[in-house]
Amino acid sequence: MSGILVYALHYEGAFNKNSLGAVSEGARLAGELGGECHVLVLGDRAGLPDDLCASLGRYGAAKVFRVEGPEGLAQPVVDAMAKIIADDGLGYALFGGGLLGFEIGAGLTARLDAGVCMEVTSVRVEDGKLVSERPILGDSSVSDVHYRAGVGVIIGRLNAFEVKEGGEGTAAVEDLAVEFAPHSLKATMVSRGEQRGAEVNIEDASILIAGGRGLGKAEGFEALEDLAGALGGAVAATRAVVDAGWYSYSAQIGQTGKTVSPKLYLAAGISGAIQHKVGMMSSENIVAINKDANAPIFEFSDLGIVGDLNKIVPKLTEAVKARKGG
Of 207, 188, 187, nearest to 197 by C-alpha is: 207
Q: Which residues from 161-220 bind ligand FAD, rule CB under 6 A?
A: 212-214
125 sits near ligand FAD (criterion: CB under 6 A):
no
Q: How far apart are CA 165 and CA 112, in angstroms?
A: 31
20 contacts ligand FAD (rule: CB under 6 A): no
Entry field: residues in the chain = 326
Candidates 14-22, 77-85, 169-177, 238-246; binding stretch for ligand FAD (CB under 6 A): 238-246
100 interacts with ligand FAD by CB under 6 A: no
- Please choose, out of 31-39, 95-103, 196-204, 239-247, the segment that lies near ligand FAD by the rule CB under 6 A: 239-247
Q: Is residue 289 a contact point for ligand FAD (CB under 6 A)?
A: yes
- The reply to whether 135 sits near ligand FAD by the rule CB under 6 A is no
Integer Cα distance of 62 and 311 in angstroms? 52
Is 19 an interacting residue with respect to ligand FAD (CB under 6 A)? no
Closer residue to ligand FAD, CB minimum distance, 2 or 317:
317
Q: Which stretch binds ligand FAD (CB under 6 A): 91-99, 108-116, 226-234, 275-283?
A: 275-283
Does 276 bind ligand FAD (CB under 6 A)? Our answer is: yes
* Segments of the chain assigned E as strands: 4-7, 10-11, 14-15, 37-43, 63-68, 92-95, 115-120, 122-126, 129-136, 141-146, 152-156, 172-176, 207-211, 234-237, 264-268, 285-290, 303-306
By CB under 6 A, tell whether 266 contacts ligand FAD: no
Q: Does residue number 29 form part of the binding site for ligand FAD (CB under 6 A)? A: no
Distances (CA, A) of 73 to 154, 206, 269, 271: 19, 29, 40, 39
With contacts defined by CB under 6 A, name the span among 23-31, 36-44, 101-109, 248-256 that binds ligand FAD. 248-256
Instruction: Give strand pairing partners of 117.
Output: 154
Count of CB atoms within 10 A of residue 20's CB? Answer: 26
Total binding residues toward ligand FAD, as defined by CB under 6 A: 28
3-state secondary structure at position 165: coil
- What is the closest distance, in whole angstroms, from the C-beta atom of residue 11 to ligand FAD in the complex? 25
Three-class DSSP category at 203: coil
Q: Which stretch binds ligand FAD (CB under 6 A): 30-38, 95-103, 193-201, 304-312?
A: 304-312
The helix/strand count (H/E) of the chain reads as 8, 17
Residue nearest to ligand FAD (CB): 254
Cβ-contact 44, 33 below 8 angstroms:
no
Binding site for ligand FAD (CB under 6 A): 212-214, 238-241, 252-257, 269-271, 273, 275-276, 279, 289-292, 295, 308-310
